[in-house]
Amino acid sequence: MKVLMLNGSCKPNGNTNRALLEVGAQLEKEGIEYEIYQIGGKPVRDCIGCGKCTESGCVFTDDGVNEFIAKAKAADGFVFGTPVYYAHPSGRILSFLDRAFYSGGGAFEFKPGASVTVARRGGNTASFDCLNKYFGIRQMPVAGSTYWNMAHGRVPGEAEMDEEGMRTMRNLARNLAWMMKCFEAGKNSGIALPDTESGEMTNFIR
Ligand SMILES: Cc1cc2nc3c(=O)[nH]c(=O)nc-3n(C[C@H](O)[C@H](O)[C@H](O)COP(=O)(O)O)c2cc1C
């Protein structure tokens, strides 16, 4: 089984990456593979609501969104990590995930997820709430930890000194691995996915 992570910082070796590495190292101890997908520093487009999403994802092909969707199809769980910018997630991770979920949301359904945030000082819980909303709209169970999944640090690598933050990451990995193993055991014993009801979107209360 594999967890696909997303680093929403333009810094591939910054604090968000450090927190994700802590999750990943513990996942490996639990027998779960992981990969950190780096959004990087190149421009990331916003969703323009064109509604022309295709089988392979978004119509825009000049950034990593469609590649991420393809990887998501093969993954069994997710961790989305972001630095805190003005008390919210980075703009690039929101643009990236809006398009990934709008055009390729089926790749994430019924697979557990968790979000991780890193800040110098404030805005972690608001950013954590924001990222967790992607899970709720795609029938994704959310893994928790022994605190909200956050760490503190400013310059790259500083988050490693946040002992409780790093412990929270390791416990998150333990819980995510446990959930994934339970789901796998359920699938192997014949428990089917929920029979989701669909219907017309009402848009407003009539
Ligand atoms: C544009 C910008 C806005 C930021 N806003 C906040 C903030 O609201 N609260 C905070 O505690 N830190 C803030 N920071 C600091 C970063 O969250 C912090 O340095 C974090 O460790 C960066 O993670 P990274 O190394 O993965 O990029 C901000 C940094 C930048 C560049």
Dump pLDDT digits (tens) for 69-84: 999 999 999 999 999 9
What pLDDT score does 38 carry? 98
* Residue 202 pLDDT class (50, 70, 90 cuts): confident
Q: Domain spans of the chain?
A: 2-188
Distance CA 31, CA 128 (A): 26
Closest CA to 38 of 70, 62, 4, 61: 4
Percent of the chain whose pLDDT exceeds 90: 96
What's the CA dihedral at 56, 95, 172, 119 to 10 degrees?
160
pLDDT for 166 equals: 98
Atom of ligand 1 at shortest distance to CA of 119?
Answer: 17
pLDDT at residue 48 greater than cutoff 80: yes
CA-nearest residue, atom 8 of ligand 1: 86
Mutate to test the pocket of ligand 1, among 85, 92, 93, 161 (most ligand atoms within 8 A of CB): 85
**Phi and psi dihedrals of 39, rounded to 5?**
-65, -40
Q: Is the pLDDT confidence value at 132 over 90?
A: yes
d(CA 106, CA 93): 19
* Amino acid occupying residue 181: K
Compute, in angstroms, the gap from residue 202 CA to the centroid of ligand 1: 39
9 Cβ closer than 6 Å to some ligand 1 atom? yes
Q: Which residue, judged by its Cα, is nearest atom 3 of ligand 1?
A: 85
Q: Where are the alpha helices (DSSP H) in the chain?
A: 15-29, 65-74, 91-104, 124-136, 163-188
Question: Band of the pLDDT at 56, cuts 50, 70, 90?
Answer: confident
Distance 84 CA to ligand 1 centre (A): 5
Model pLDDT, residue 206: 62
pLDDT level of residue 204 (50, 70, 90 thresholds): confident
- For position 203, what pLDDT does the model report? 84
**Domain 2-188 CATH superfamily:** Flavodoxin domain (3.40.50.360)
The percent of residues in the chain predicted with pLDDT above 70, rounded, is 100
Please work out whether the CB of residue 156 comes within 6 Å of at least one atom of ligand 1: yes
Predicted local confidence at residue 95, as pLDDT: 98
161 in contact with ligand 1, CB cutoff 6 A: no
DSSP output for 156-177:
TTGGGG-HHHHHHHHHHHHHHH
